[in-house]
Amino acid sequence: MACWIDGRPDEPLPPTDRGLAYGDGLFETIAVRRGQPLLLERHLARLGEGCARLALPGDPASIRAELLAFSAALGEGVAKLLLTRGDGLRGYAAPQPPQSRRILLGSPPPRYPPGNAAQGVRLYPCRTRLAEQPLLAGLKHLNRLEQVLARAEWRDAEHAEGLMRDLSGRVIEGVFSNLFLVRDGVLLTADLCRCGVAGVMRAEILEQAERAGIALQVRDIDFAELLAADEVFLCNSLYGIWPVRRFEEHDWPVGTLTRKLQGSIRKLLDS
């Protein structure tokens, strides 16, 4: 695994880093194809919003240049960027002024079963619920303990992803994906104003749907509405779109709108 810290390969990470101690930071997981980071502008825009909301210093020009250089060196795979608040002493109060730290990790391309995209996947009903914190909603911050606990709930190969709901039972997302429904020709995805991660692939799908004139809604989705959907699919920036075929005893077909969006996203990832 390749690793750069503040632009320097194989630099050691100090144990005083606030990302380790408190999850005080943000991260982006970026697909790299032929030495180029995909959906780079969307990743940088989300990172910039997170920096603004967390008052986390970060130089956009330096981050962009470093990501491009790292991706060129990686060639094919996944670049994971972590931006932390840097070093700190014991206690929650951040040092003033804070000095952020950039960490880049490179790994090989993920090897998902081809059937996930072709035939669809089965969702696991996670018992772990997402806490509601509007200050952090939508951000890809470093505290992922809810997802860690949810992913530990299943170990079989039958389930490719898990469904996560909030404390009120609303449908939010997958453990590492965003979730969409289709009902009566309308594309639906959850409002992430209370919790959840605003994925870059989710943003891309919403933009493509709007350009194509597809009716869409971003709003609260209750559990009964999920079960009554005509189509269900998952998305993230690494695999694109996976249709959902089964959840407990409920089945959905792989519908035409899912396939249409899946085809356009595949072209984007393969371009």
Q: Are residues 58 and 129 in the same domain?
A: no
Mean pLDDT, residues 188-210 taken together = 97
Neighbours of 54 (CB within 10 A): 18
Contact predicate 262/121, CB 8 Å: no
In terms of Cα–Cα distance, which of 95, 86, 101, 85 is closest to 5? 101
Percent of the chain with pLDDT over 90: 91
CA distance 141 to 25: 6
Residue 22: its pLDDT value, please? 94
Q: How many domains does the chain have?
A: 2
Q: Per-residue DSSP letters for 67-130?
A: HHHHHHHH-SEEEEEEEE--B--SSSSPPSS---EEEEEEEPPP---HHHHHT-EEEEEEEEEE
**Which of residues 50, 78, 107 is at a domain's end?**
107
**Which of residues 72, 91, 107 is at a domain's end?**
107
Residues 6+ apart with CB under 8 A from 112: 160, 239
**Which of residues 107, 139, 163 is at a domain's end?**
107
Pair of tokens at residue 226 = 């999920």
Mean pLDDT, residues 100-124 taken together = 96
Residue 93: its pLDDT value, please? 87
Q: Which amino acid is residue 11, in one-letter code?
A: E
Residues 6+ apart with CB under 8 A from 202: 178, 180, 189, 235
Pair of tokens at residue 160 = 């490719």
Residue with tokens 């009902």: 183
> Residues 119, 260, 237, 243: what is their CA dihedral angle, to the nearest 10 degrees?
-30
Q: Tell me the pLDDT of the chain averaged across its residues.
A: 95
Structural domain containing residue 190: 114-270
CATH number of the domain residue 38 falls in: 3.30.470.10
Residue with tokens 């809810």: 146
Q: Are residues 147 and 208 in the same domain?
A: yes
Q: Are residues 261 and 148 in the same domain?
A: yes
Q: Are residues 63 and 172 in the same domain?
A: no
**Residue 77 pLDDT level (bands cut at 50, 70, 90):** very high
Q: Are residues 131 and 236 in the same domain?
A: yes
Residue 255: its pLDDT value, please? 94
Residue 11 has pLDDT above 90, yes or no: no
CATH number of the domain residue 170 falls in: 3.20.10.10
